[in-house]
């Protein structure tokens, strides 16, 4: 169960800052989609640690351009549709927010779209 989250008041500013800080990743992928709390406007800081962090994670669904880059740290397979990689952290208000890349199995983007429709996710296309 996730702990209580304190949502940042300046969502647009935080969103734009994070997108700017992740632009370098877009060179390594064919497609990229932002989902989760940053896309839906409820990005923030937890009152206690959750999955090793106090900050909300930054979720990007991506299709790599070629091979998975060596600096993407593999975390495992999740929810029967994607492999997860941690690539870095972005600090907001002295809180680390992990950047997680989600690569659909067999790079089948339809797996993502099916899940997004099923769960009514807000999706922002980045590339």
Q: What is the pLDDT of residue 115?
A: 96
Q: What is the pLDDT of residue 53?
A: 96
Q: In angstroms, what CA-CA distances link 38 with 21, 68, 76?
A: 14, 24, 22
Domains contained in the chain, number: 1
The H or E element that residue 33 is part of is strand 29-35
Q: What is the pLDDT of residue 17?
A: 98
- Residue 38: domain span: 5-125
Q: What is the pLDDT of residue 89?
A: 97
**Mean per-residue pLDDT pooled into runs of 10, the chain (127 residues):** 95 98 93 98 97 96 94 96 97 97 97 96 97
């Amino acid at each position: 169960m996730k702990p209580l989250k304190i949502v940042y008041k300046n969502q647009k500013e935080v969103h734009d800052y994070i997108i700017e800080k992740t632009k370098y990743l877009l060179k390594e992928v064919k497609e990229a989609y932002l989902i989760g709390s940053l896309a839906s406007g409820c990005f923030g800081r937890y009152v206690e640690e959750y999955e090793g962090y106090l900050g909300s994670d930054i979720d990007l669904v991506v299709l790599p351009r070629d091979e998975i880059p060596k600096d993407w740290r593999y975390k495992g397979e999740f929810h029967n549709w994607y492999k997860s990689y941690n690539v870095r952290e972005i600090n907001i208000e002295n809180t680390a927010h992990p950047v997680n890349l989600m690569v659909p199995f067999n790079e089948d983007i339809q797996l993502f779209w099916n899940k997004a429709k099923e769960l009514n996710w807000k999706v922002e296309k980045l590339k």
